[in-house]
């Protein structure tokens, strides 16, 4: 006997057999006119939605007792950390990280002095001092070479003037960023920066 689940695709009489099997198995129940039964409404016995207390208010636990209130941790202002006084120098940190980038060889002298005076524990200050010093040394080398070539051709002299102006603007931007506590990284002088910071030790 064929069933409605017989799905043999090779049987040519399959559609008629499946239809006959389905009609014989399907039954329609008589309708006696009964009404649809509805569920009774839910009584309003639920508690109101519990809300979280405002900051500074006590939070009740399951027994109804108030839990102690703990004040949130106060975060230190970043501006206070960069303006703190550096030991053995007495100047704010943001000033010491900015002055090595001042152009016209002022930053070169400042970077040397900071590396000689600031202890190794002040890693951030020493890094900017070494990086500013390395940048000045690189600029000095390039301007010296261009100046020597400038005695032979006017193009080198023009290039030297443009390079000096561009690097001066760049150093001013670096100084402002360091003074504001923003990171300054000159990738081209990384090796020289690390060498200077390691070799120039603070004087006790």
Tens of pLDDT along the chain (204 residues) come to: 555 555 555 666 766 777 766 665 555 656 666 666 667 666 655 555 555 555 555 555 555 555 544 344 333 445 566 778 887 788 999 999 999 999 988 999 999 999 999 999 999 999 999 999 999 999 999 999 988 887 777 787 888 889 999 999 999 999 999 999 999 999 999 999 999 999 999 886
CA-based end-to-end distance of the chain: 106
CA distance 99 to 125: 10
CA-angle at 28, arms to 22 and 31, nearest 5°: 170
């Amino acid at each position: 006997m064929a069933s409605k689940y017989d799905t043999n695709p090779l049987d040519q009489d399959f559609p008629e057999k499946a239809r006959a099997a389905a009609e014989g198995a399907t039954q329609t129940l008589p309708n006696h006119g009964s009404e649809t039964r509805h569920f009774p409404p839910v009584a309003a016995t639920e508690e109101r939605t519990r809300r979280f207390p405002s900051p500074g208010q006590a939070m009740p636990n399951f027994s109804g007792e108030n839990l102690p209130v703990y004040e949130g941790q106060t975060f230190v202002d970043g501006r206070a950390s960069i303006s703190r006084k550096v030991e053995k120098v007495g100047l704010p940190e943001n000033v010491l990280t900015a002055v090595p980038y001042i152009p016209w060889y002022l930053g070169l002298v400042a970077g040397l002095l900071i590396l000689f005076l600031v202890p190794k524990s002040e890693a951030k200050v020493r890094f900017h001092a070494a990086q500013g010093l390395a940048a000045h040394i690189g600029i000095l080398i390039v301007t010296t070479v261009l100046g020597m070539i400038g005695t032979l051709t006017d193009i080198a002299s023009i290039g030297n003037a443009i390079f000096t102006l561009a690097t001066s603007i760049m150093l001013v931007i670096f100084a402002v960023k360091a003074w504001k506590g923003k990171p300054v990284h000159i990738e081209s002088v990384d090796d020289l920066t690390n060498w200077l910071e390691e070799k120039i030790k603070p004087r006790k």
